[in-house]
A and B are shown apart, each in its own frame.
Chain A
Amino acid sequence: QQQVKQSPQSLIVQKGGISIINCAYENTAFDYFPWYQQFPGKGPALLIAIRPDVSEKKEGRFTISFNKSAKQFSLHIMDSQPGDSATYFCAATWGAQKLVFGQGTRLTINP
């Protein structure tokens, strides 16, 4: 119940395309769903986050879509650029509890 399942494991998108990464969870106590971006040799960095009382949050080219009834959420990267090539992790937490991470998606944007 503590798990967050993420797919796909790897994704290749052409420059200018839309990248979509999906996550699913079981624990309905989760109340905060962040996405982290990690470049090689760096630690993960917070990219965007959402709470379950909204269905969508957009920041620039990055959008989180949240489906509370299905217990799923996804990251959309519009107009994907080579600089977006990185590993993306979805995560979930509640209260002051630890972050639970998905397995990660290695995204490659081909120029």
Chain B
Amino acid sequence: KAGVTQTPRYLIKTRGQQVTLSCSPISGHRSVSWYQQTPGQGLQFLFEYFSETQRNKGNFPGRFSGRQFSNSRSEMNVSTLELGDSALYLCASNPPGTGWTEAFFGQGTRLTVV
């Protein structure tokens, strides 16, 4: 069974640009969550999607948005990039009916804003 797949693995963007990251969950998983990982801050929750609907949202500005498609694939978008957005963005999915007791993470997308 394929794991959670995130693309691209690495990105370099310029301040002010926008970026779209993609996440394909494990087959059969319908919940997808996104996290931002930075040194010293750990994993900060961005948002969660279930069946194409945003179910939870973290404390990030409106520049961060996401969506989920009918095949459970998810994208997150960051507009008007700032230097502080440089981070590892992680996507996780979980099996139906488990809540978040079994979260499977992708390898992440390393975003660098210059």
Asked whether A43 lies within 8 Å of B106 as measured between CB atoms, the reply is yes
Asked whether B101 lies within 8 Å of A49 as measured between CB atoms, the reply is yes
- Residue among B33, B101, B108 facing the most chain A CB atoms (10 A cut-off): B101
One of A36, A95, A98, A102 near B48 (C-beta < 8 A): A98
Are A43 and B107 CB-contacts (below 8 A) given A98-B56, A98-B100? yes
| Tally of B interface residues using CB under 8 Å | 24
CB distance from A33 to the nearest CB of B (A): 10
Please give, as numbers and ranges, the residues of chain A lying within 8 Å of B44 by CB-CB distance: 101
Complex CA gap A46/B105 in Å reads: 9
Stretch from B12-20, B35-43, B69-77, B79-87 that touches the partner: B35-43
Say yes or no for B103: interface residue by CB 8 A criterion: yes
The contact string, 1 if C-beta is below 8 Å from chain A, for chain B 4-36, is 100000000000000000000000000001010
Asked whether B99 lies within 8 Å of A101 as measured between CB atoms, the reply is no
Asked whether A103 lies within 8 Å of B107 as measured between CB atoms, the reply is no
Are A99 and B45 CB-contacts (below 8 A) given A34-B101, A44-B90? yes
Please give, as numbers and ranges, the residues of chain B lying within 8 Å of A100 by CB-CB distance: 45
The contact string, 1 if C-beta is below 8 Å from chain B, for chain A 45-72, is 1100100000000000000000000000
Asked whether A96 lies within 8 Å of B90 as measured between CB atoms, the reply is no
Say yes or no for A41: interface residue by CB 8 A criterion: yes
Asked whether A103 lies within 8 Å of B40 as measured between CB atoms, the reply is yes
Which chain A residues numbered 86 to 106 have a C-beta less than 8 Å away from chain B? 89, 93, 95-104
- Chain B residues packing against A (C-beta within 8 Å): 4, 33, 35, 40-45, 48, 56, 58, 90, 92, 99-108
- Chain A residues packing against B (C-beta within 8 Å): 6, 9, 32, 34, 36, 41-46, 49, 89, 93, 95-104
